């Protein structure tokens, strides 16, 4: 578990290599504002080896945030992360390790008959039911229980620093919004209980579009309502204070809706997801800062924006755009190969945009 003492010691060891705002507050400690993402790649031994080497190099180079999920690459991403952390010359207590549950994970590879796999591995043991599942997504507390247990085993850890409920908006394809809020509240109760048991430190939601769309959109979920449900879940679980701490959402120069779209009720009127999260004291982790590699090419970032961003390469400038958004704790960059680690970590040598300069890019 990331601790104040270890995270500040890690920061002190790397501080001179990075710009002033590279390390940012998380809980009582600090974490790097560039993180490792582990989503892309085939479920192969070769890809596992690349991920393991990339994660190890990253955490030994000043990256203290590692993000994964039980379903990424059929549980292989978590296992590669676990091996990398064990082998790395870095203090585990300096690292923020986050994972997610919500989608059925395969085991090592995609099975020939996915439906039979789900039935035998999840329905028959009653860890989920067909009625609870929407396109492989399930929010049932017992489903998340087993998913978290798998993640802890895959990672070789006793505790994860942040556990996300993964893409809850998937449930909106078959359920009304109020029902999904109810499902999330029940899920949060279980996560509060697992937090009390010492299996996770904080929890949150990892999303794709629910916080970036207009209120009338079929995939919309209200971030203020989810925060309210987390507080109710804490009351139901008797934990005293909610462990709901983090939000993950896509943010890049072409997907900036979390900053530009005011779709969430605030005390003085509608707010953007980023504004609400910042004022509510939530940590925001920006996924897809490179838009799965599309923004790493010359000319992909509009010149009017690129000219204001610091960095030697398009990838570094794209990462620094995401790091510039208000309230963003870290930009999660896919690092499925060691060859990209130095370039991505190098973005942290440059200061992100200040608030006024960031706002000006949208004028």
Rounded Cα distance, 73 and 84, in Å: 16
Q: Write out pLDDT tens, residues 158-186.
A: 999 999 999 999 999 999 999 999 999 99
Of 132, 74, 136, the closest CA to residue 105 belongs to: 74
The answer on pLDDT for 72 being more than 80 is yes
Enter the DSSP assignment of 110. -
| pTM, rounded to two decimals | 0.96
pLDDT at residue 144 in the model: 98
Are 201 and 162 a contacting pair, CB within 8 Å?
yes
pLDDT at residue 194 in the model: 98
Q: Write out pLDDT tens, residues 18-64.
A: 999 999 999 999 999 999 999 999 999 999 999 999 999 999 999 99
Rounded Cα distance, 70 and 206, in Å: 13
pLDDT at residue 14 in the model: 95
Reported confidence tier of residue 359, pLDDT bands at 50, 70, 90: confident
Q: Write out pLDDT tens, residues 302-317.
A: 998 999 999 999 999 9
Instruction: Parse the chain into domains and list their residue ranges.
Output: 4-243+263-277
Rounded Cα distance, 83 and 134, in Å: 32
pLDDT at residue 293 in the model: 86
Rounded Cα distance, 264 and 248, in Å: 16
Mean pLDDT within 341-351: 96
Q: Write out pLDDT tens, residues 179-222.
A: 999 999 999 999 999 999 999 999 999 999 999 999 999 999 99
Are 187 and 234 a contacting pair, CB within 8 Å?
no
Instruction: Tell me whether strands 34-37 and 328-334 are parallel, antiparallel or unpaired.
Output: parallel
Assign domain 4-243+263-277 to its CATH superfamily: NADP-dependent oxidoreductase domain (3.20.20.100)
């Amino acid at each position: 578990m990331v601790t104040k003492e270890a995270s500040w010691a890690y920061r002190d060891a790397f501080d001179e290599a990075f710009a002033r705002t590279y390390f940012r507050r998380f809980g009582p400690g600090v974490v790097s504002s560039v993180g490792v993402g582990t989503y892309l790649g085939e479920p192969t031994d070769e890809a596992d080896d690349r991920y393991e080497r990339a994660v190890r190099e990253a955490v030994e180079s000043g990256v203290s945030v590692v993000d994964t999920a039980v379903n990424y690459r059929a549980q292989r991403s978590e296992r590669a992360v676990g091996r990398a952390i064990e082998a790395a010359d870095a203090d585990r207590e300096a690292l923020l390790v986050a994972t997610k549950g919500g989608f059925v994970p395969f085991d090592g590879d995609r099975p020939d008959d996915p439906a039979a796999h789900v039935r035998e591995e999840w329905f028959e043991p009653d860890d989920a039911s067909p009625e609870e599942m929407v396109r492989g997504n399930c929010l049932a507390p017992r489903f998340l229980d087993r998913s978290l247990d798998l993640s802890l085993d895959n990672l070789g850890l006793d505790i994860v620093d942040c556990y996300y409920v993964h893409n809850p908006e998937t449930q909106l394809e078959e359920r009304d919004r109020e029902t999904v809020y109810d499902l999330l509240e029940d899920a949060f109760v279980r996560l509060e209980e697992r937090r009390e048991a010492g299996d996770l430190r904080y929890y949150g939601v990892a999303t794709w579009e629910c916080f970036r769309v207009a209120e009338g959109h079929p995939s919309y979920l209200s971030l203020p309502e989810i925060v309210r449900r987390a507080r109710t879940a804490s009351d139901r679980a008797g934990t005293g204070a909610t462990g709901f701490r983090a939000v993950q959402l896509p943010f890049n120069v072409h997907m900036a809706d979390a900053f530009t779209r005011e779709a969430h009720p605030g005390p003085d009127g509608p707010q953007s997801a980023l504004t609400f999260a910042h004022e509510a004291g939530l940590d925001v982790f920006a996924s897809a800062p490179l838009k799965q590699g599309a923004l790493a090419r010359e000319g992909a970032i509009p010149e009017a924006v690129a000219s204001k961003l610091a960095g030697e390469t398009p990838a570094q400038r794209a990462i620094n755009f995401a790091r510039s958004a208000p309230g963003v704790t870290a930009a999660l960059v896919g690092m499925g190969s060691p060859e990209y680690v130095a370039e991505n970590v190098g973005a942290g040598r440059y200061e992100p945009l200040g608030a006024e300069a960031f706002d000006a890019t949208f004028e």
